[in-house]
Amino acid sequence: MPYSALKYILWAALVVLLQLLIFRHLRFFGAEPDFVLVYLIWIMATKDRTTALYHSAAMAFMLDVILDHWGIHILAKVATVFLAYNFIPKITETKLLFTQVFFVILLVALFHNLIFLGVATFAQSRVDIIFWNFLIGNAFFTSIIGSFVYLFKSN
Amino acid sequence: MRFPFSQTKGIKDHILTSVFIFLGLIMLVSRHDEGLQNVRKASITVFSYLEEPLSNIRVYRTALKTNRQLHEQNIILLDELSRLRSAREQNIELKRLLDFKESSEHDVDILPVKVVGKNLTGINNFMSINVGSNDSVEVGMPVINPSGLVGRVVDVSANYAQVMPFLNPLFRVSSRIQETRAYGVVSWESQKLDELVMNYVPQTIPVEIGAIVETSGYSQKFPVNIPIGQVIRTAPDPGLQTQRIYLKPFVSLFEIAEASVMKYTGNPEVDSLRINFMERY
């Protein structure tokens, strides 16, 4: 296995672990950040689409199996990466401002959460109770976390 | 910025996406299949291992609060116990006079457990506990805590078990109102995180606010008399002659850190009679 592939796998596993052990428990008014999505946006902004798709499928599969969601994360994350890839500004081309990063993550997170809720409804889960919290709350929380990670990383 | 679908080399990504979406759909459709049960068991174990260190923090955080609640509950229960003792004596005597057949309803082992993982996001809520098939825990066993019903075991690995709490749209429990003994089925409507609903109670039966709802034991899935919640309001079922009784559950799943598994598996004789009846009619 090439060194770069191994490095990607380890990073992906670490991000999933961080999401499961830390970020999933940072609940604020019922909203929780999706650090995996932040990492996928960073992959989309720095790597090619094929790499981003592999990352999204592998990480979503891990989340699905561990959180007993079975397919909901895969469908939501793969569809988000596939459809949003061309609209994500590439970090290698330009250096983005804090607000730009915030709004990019917010839009992608809103789009992802909408697909996630749609798939969850299709999977016979009633999502009325968490709809707005999940759609808006999670998206805002994810963008705040993602923007600060970008800020510290770029500094 | 590039426009989507403008590159022919992107065909590989389209195929890859289709494959992953197809895989996701297969997982979604076949998630309740028997074939996935072993993977589920492995996932319960992994999830529980990951969450176990955090559960210790949860236990310490809730310990003081639980201690105070139990202390208060203990005083109330001691008072109730003395009254119940005298009522029991009277009950035994009356039953003896009527030659009433006695049945032991709560004669089951109780296994204390620690909640090692919780997923109460609103989508497919579940909890993990630190006992499994090695501790003789089986699928279907009820999970309770001193306040009342928590849920039931739905999957078991060697050292861990997955619990479907009452805040799950698939959860159903046969129940009755303590005062009137009116029978119904309690479930969660995914509307509020602190509200359950009891269905199938006729509108002719008066239900008082504050009445206690407990398990009826009729389904053979839960023993009788486990408290579930307290009535907070009622509403007529539109177009039906039944009413909807809304309850506030006694157990707060978001705060729970410890619980107990009741080693109750129902009465197979009653179950077989019911199956025979269903097959015949």
* Nearest in space to B131 (alpha carbons), one of B45, B13, B8: B45
Given the structure tokens 């996928």, which residue do they identify? A40
Q: Are B265 and B109 in contact (CB under 8 A)?
A: no
Cα–Cα dist B256/B62, whole Å: 8
Note the residue count of chain A: 155
Cβ contacts of B19 within 8 Å, gap of 6 or more? none
Residue B83 in tokens: 């009254």
Given this model, what pLDDT does residue B3 score? 47
By CA distance, what is A19's nearest residue in B? Answer: B50
- A107 close to B (CB below 8 A): no
Integer CA distances (angstroms), B263 to B138, B230, B270, in order: 8, 26, 18
Work out the average pLDDT over A39-55.
90
Minimum-distance CB partner of B124 among A53, A66, A125: A125
Above 80 in pLDDT, residue A44?
A: yes
Cα–Cα dist A132/A130, whole Å: 6
Cα–Cα dist B17/A83, whole Å: 10
Cα–Cα dist B1/B266, whole Å: 64
Given this model, what pLDDT does residue B1 score? 46
Minimum-distance CB partner of A130 among B10, B51, B123: B123
Q: What are phi and psi of B122, to 5 degrees?
A: 110, -25
- DSSP class per residue in B95-110: HHHHTPPP--SS---E
Cα–Cα dist A142/A34, whole Å: 5
By CA distance, what is A87's nearest residue in B? Answer: B1
Interchain contact, B190 vs A127, CB within 8 Å: yes
Interchain contact, A129 vs B122, CB within 8 Å: yes
Q: What are phi and psi of B212, to 5 degrees?
A: -95, 135
Percentage of chain A beyond pLDDT 70 is 92
Interchain contact, A66 vs B25, CB within 8 Å: no
- A26 to chain B, closest Cα gap in Å: 12
Tell me if residue A70 falls in helix, strand or coil: coil
Q: Are B186 and B172 in contact (CB under 8 A)?
A: yes
Integer CA distances (angstroms), B278 to B184, B206, B272, in order: 20, 31, 10
Q: Are B229 and B249 in contact (CB under 8 A)?
A: yes
Q: Are B156 and B138 in contact (CB under 8 A)?
A: yes
Given pLDDT bands bounded at 50, 70 and 90, which one contains residue A21? Answer: confident
> Which residues in chain B touch residue A43, judged by CB atoms under 8 angstroms apart?
none
How would you write the pLDDT of chain B (281 residues) with one tens digit per residue?
Answer: 454 545 555 788 889 899 999 998 888 888 777 777 777 778 888 888 888 777 777 777 777 777 887 888 888 888 888 888 888 888 887 877 777 655 545 567 888 888 888 888 777 788 889 898 898 899 989 999 888 899 999 988 888 999 999 988 889 999 999 888 888 999 988 778 888 999 998 888 888 898 899 998 888 888 888 899 999 988 888 878 889 999 999 988 888 888 889 888 777 777 778 778 877 77
Q: What confidence tens digit (pLDDT) does each residue in A80-92 have?
A: 999 998 888 777 6
pTM: 0.72
The total of other beta-carbon atoms located within 10 Å of residue A155's CB is 5
Above 80 in pLDDT, residue A69?
A: yes
